[in-house]
Structure 1
């Protein structure tokens, strides 16, 4: 019988008060923001937003609690845009959504930053005994979103990004799980040769933690070769978008190449304001079992398909409660996956 775990890929919507307050404060912030250079008032506002985000997860009853990523104005590009050897270029579109980030242009060596680790240290102070889940962009996605003006070679740049992320993880506090968000792996899949390098990069990042690692993909389904190579990486689970991606293609990959002992299921829509029923979540978990009859998963992670950043805060909180209750129902019904 699988253990059904309610979680989230992080990147929460900012509370309305924080949007207004931070907009005013950042109007007085001079120059590009580098880790540690924020005005004290900005740091304080992000701290209060973090506390609110942790509280809303604990109140909903999630099984894993994330930091919330309130400071990640540039979405998955954030770990680079706050790095001292990265310059932020113009505003570019974030995948196929009406959201944008500043293009991170890597102009020097990707040395240790520690920015995300500091955020997580603050989150741990709020958790009591709740299990922490850390969140990072996967190396392939982060390299895909960035512009390399230093390394000069695609393979070398990807390796440098992986080494950078692994170094950041070394500074993380103890955590139960690590979600590596890899939408580019399916929206802009690597071709021959690059697919193996992408898997190797993910493997290097995953090896930097003793926690369970979930490589979470979304918006589209896997192509076969990148998926087959990802199966060689030392990760505990692969996460699938079962809301917007082609489900038939997803299950073809799973049934053709197998999957890990754990699985991530993106079952709640992170972009649509319609709030799902907990019973629907539990039914979808069982439905996956019916589509993957040969698998026996140790852990099933149930989450949004995408980051909930796009949602109004009230709908976001309702969906957190749906995830928690849906996972509880699946456990109480004894779903055998």
Structure 2
């Protein structure tokens, strides 16, 4: 019988009180509101943010709880922008939207730093249903600039090794979501798509948890998807909000893993879906793949939630939890 698990890709919006306090502590320019080596009251503020974001997810009834990533002002580039071997330079557009991050320029060896592990250890004191979140290696490499490694392939391998080293330091966690929007937005060319799959493998091998690779902002090219199927992961994500038809075609044509993650609420639109609509989206997807019964279906937003106002992000989390608890929908 299929288990429905309500979760999110993390990166929740900062509570309004936290924005005000961080502004007072770090200055008035947006470029100063960037996580790094926090101490004192600044570190305490981020601790308070984490506590609230975890409590919000628990109160919403989610089955998997992320750390919330309140410090990730550079979004998915965060694990590099706080690294000692990385220089941060100009402000870069975060995909095709009005969010921006500092360009991480890798100028030295990418050794594990334990930054994300520390956040997860703190979150683990609040929940036994912990879900770790990281950028996938291909996405993190694409968001960065390499000024240290020999070539693009060597850089991707180094990023994968770096992330695997980070994962090895994580506390016990139920799932690991590797967010890979660049597989859609900046699809790897022939040959490099296989390397991207191998890099994902390297990160997945570092944990005993269930590993979900979650691309979004659309659907994967067929060849990219076929290579991703070679990765030894437990589930692949499908953005049913941005492109449900191509995503279903990929599954029909190339199959998928025994479990899937489905982006069934819109992480970039303030309209809050009702649980019945979300459940119907899952049931529709399931009906298109009649030959396969999934072990686990992760019901999630298609993108990270930081695009949304706080109340809308909370409402969508509740929708996902309620959708997972509904009785079977009749088609």
TM-score (norm 2): 0.96
Work out whether 1:195 is the aligned partner of 2:193: yes
| Secondary structure, aligned partner of 2:161 | helix
Say which of 309, 315, 333 aligns to 2:328. 333
Shift of 1:152: 3.0
Q: 1:151-180 CA distances to partner (integer Å, 9 max, x unpaired)?
A: 030000000000000000011000000000
Structural mapping, 1:42-53, within 5 Å: 42-53=42-53
* Moved beyond 6 Å, runs of 4+: 28-34
Q: 1:5-40 CA distances to partner (integer Å, 9 max, x unpaired)?
A: 0000000000001011111211299999785x2131
| Secondary structure, aligned partner of 2:237 | strand
| 2-structure distance, mates of 1:286, 1:233 | 26
Say which of 282, 300, 320 aligns to 2:279. 282
Structural mapping, 1:25-104, within 5 Å: 25-27=25-27, 35=36, 37-104=37-104
**Contact conserved, 1:162 with 1:205, CA < 8 A, in 2?**
yes
For structure 1, which runs of at least 5 residues remain unmatched after alignment? Answer: none
Q: 1:23-64 CA distances to partner (integer Å, 9 max, x unpaired)?
A: 1211299999785x2131111111111111011111010000
| 2-structure distance, mates of 1:224, 1:216 | 16
Which position in structure 1 is the counterpart of 2:143?
145
Say which of 244, 259, 263 aligns to 2:260. 263
Shift of 1:209: 0.3
TM-score (norm 1): 0.95
**Contact conserved, 2:35 with 2:73, CA < 8 A, in 1?**
no
Structural mapping, 1:302-317, within 5 Å: 302-317=299-314
| 2-structure distance, mates of 1:266, 1:14 | 22
**Contact conserved, 1:32 with 1:88, CA < 8 A, in 2?**
no
| Secondary structure, aligned partner of 2:306 | helix
After superposition, the Cα gap between the structure-2 partners of 1:156 and 1:312, relative to the gap in structure 1 and judged at 3 Å, is same
Which position in structure 2 is the counterpart of 1:119?
119
Which position in structure 1 is the counterpart of 2:216?
218
**Contact conserved, 2:283 with 2:329, CA < 8 A, in 1?**
no
**Contact conserved, 1:34 with 1:84, CA < 8 A, in 2?**
no
Which position in structure 2 is the counterpart of 1:10?
10
Aligned residues: 330
**Contact conserved, 1:104 with 1:145, CA < 8 A, in 2?**
yes
**Contact conserved, 1:60 with 1:321, CA < 8 A, in 2?**
yes
Work out whether 1:299 is the aligned partner of 2:292: no
| 1-structure distance, mates of 2:200, 2:72 | 21
| Secondary structure, aligned partner of 1:174 | coil
Shift of 1:298: 0.2
Structural mapping, 1:204-243, within 5 Å: 204-243=202-241
For structure 2, which runs of at least 5 residues remain unmatched after alignment? Answer: none
| 1-structure distance, mates of 2:158, 2:83 | 14
| 2-structure distance, mates of 1:31, 1:316 | 25
Q: CA RMSD in A?
A: 1.8
Q: 1:285-335 CA distances to partner (integer Å, 9 max, x unpaired)?
A: 111111111221000000000001010001111111100000111xx3289
**Contact conserved, 1:281 with 1:326, CA < 8 A, in 2?**
yes
